[in-house]
Amino acid sequence: MSRIGVFGGMGPSATVDFLDKLVKLTPAMRDQDHLPVIVASLPHTHDRSSAILGHGRDPLPQLLAGIEMLNQAAVGVIAIPCNSSHHWFDEMSSSSKVPLLHIAKACVEAISPAGATRVAIFATRGALVSGFYQRELRLRGIDFMLLDPEGGQKNVDSCIREIKAGNLDAGGQHLTEACREAARQGATTLIMGCTEIPIASRYADVSGLSLIDSSLELARASVAFALARGWNRPGWDS
């Protein structure tokens, strides 16, 4: 069970971005120094945000099937580079034979309360309604803000939609507008709480905001978990 399980495909580009970060974060001089990873990329999972908002099909059976697939593959930890799916974190954890890493916990732990005077959360509407980022920030006493649902949030929605469709420049333009609005409202730090947003950030002007990349923080947590257990050493398949 000395391998990382990645439940991906939500969306595929975000999964590739996460895996790229996983590789780059691993201290390695040769192939054999890298961490063993098993990926279940399941893009047909029903839309998580729509389901949370009450107008989409329930993805929980598919989420549990993905967890079971990784259980069958005998992984030692599971990372899910999809923020909105964490609405069902408890249910997935209960079905998993191994620990699940929580993407929001990993992000919030990366924020210095002293340095982040106001944190903007950019995420799907479903993830915002679920409230798991807000909950983690409150637990640490960090001030946060959300964009107006009829204003700046529309640019976040459009950003995510364009990146999923492969329209990188358009996604970056929408993110630029959303960041400008957050900065006008006093935000100093941005949680990119949808794994498409870090991709868009490469094509955007983020208005000087300090960025917390949910894909990167989840990758860091995954690598730290695995390295602490020596999974990068030859002979891991004992």
Whether 233 is covered by a domain: the verdict is: no
pLDDT surpassing 60 at residue 238: no
Q: How confident is the model over 149-165, as a mean pLDDT?
A: 97
By three-state DSSP, how is residue 39 classified?
strand
pLDDT of amino acid 91: 98
Comparing CA positions, the residue from 175, 181, 183, 185 lying closest to residue 213 is 175
In terms of domains, do 89 and 118 share one? Answer: no
Q: What are phi and psi of 235, to 5 degrees?
A: 90, 15
Share the mean pLDDT of the chain: 96
In terms of domains, do 97 and 116 share one?
Answer: no
Structural domain count, the chain = 2
Q: Are both 87 and 158 inside the same structural domain?
A: no
Is residue 236 situated within a structural domain? no
Bridge partner residues of 211 (DSSP)? 190
Within this chain, do residues 30 and 87 fall inside the same structural domain, yes or no?
Answer: yes
The CATH number given to whatever domain includes residue 12 is: 3.40.50.1860
Please check whether residues 182 and 222 belong to one and the same domain. Answer: no
pLDDT category, 147, cuts 50, 70, 90? Answer: very high
pLDDT at residue 234, as a whole number: 64
Same domain as 148, residue 53? no
Are 121 and 97 within one domain? no
pLDDT band at 236 (very low <50, low <70, confident <90, very high): very low
Helices (H), the chain: 12-25, 48-52, 60-72, 89-95, 103-109, 125-130, 132-139, 152-164, 168-184, 197-201, 214-228
Mark whether 91 and 179 lie in a shared domain.
no
pLDDT digits (tens, 9 = 90+) for 183-197: 999 999 999 999 999
Q: What is the largest CA-CA distance in the chain?
A: 55
Note whether 91 and 138 are same-domain residues: no
Q: Are residues 91 and 20 in the same domain?
A: yes
Q: What is the pLDDT of residues 85-139, one digit of tens each?
A: 999 999 999 999 999 999 999 999 999 877 777 999 999 999 999 999 999 999 9
Could you tell me if residue 205 is inside a domain?
yes
Q: Is residue 95 domain-resident?
A: yes
In a domain, 237, yes or no: no
pLDDT above 90 coverage of the chain, percent: 95
**Do residue 148 and residue 224 come from a single domain?**
no
Examine the pLDDT at 1 and tell me if it is beyond 70.
no
Domain that holds residue 81: 4-102+217-228
List, for residues 34-80, the tens digit of each pLDDT value.
999 999 999 999 999 999 999 999 999 999 999 999 999 999 999 99
> Do residue 27 and residue 72 come from a single domain?
yes
Q: For a pLDDT cut of 70, what percent of the chain falls above it?
A: 97
**235 belongs to a structural domain:** no
Looking at residue 165, its amino acid is A
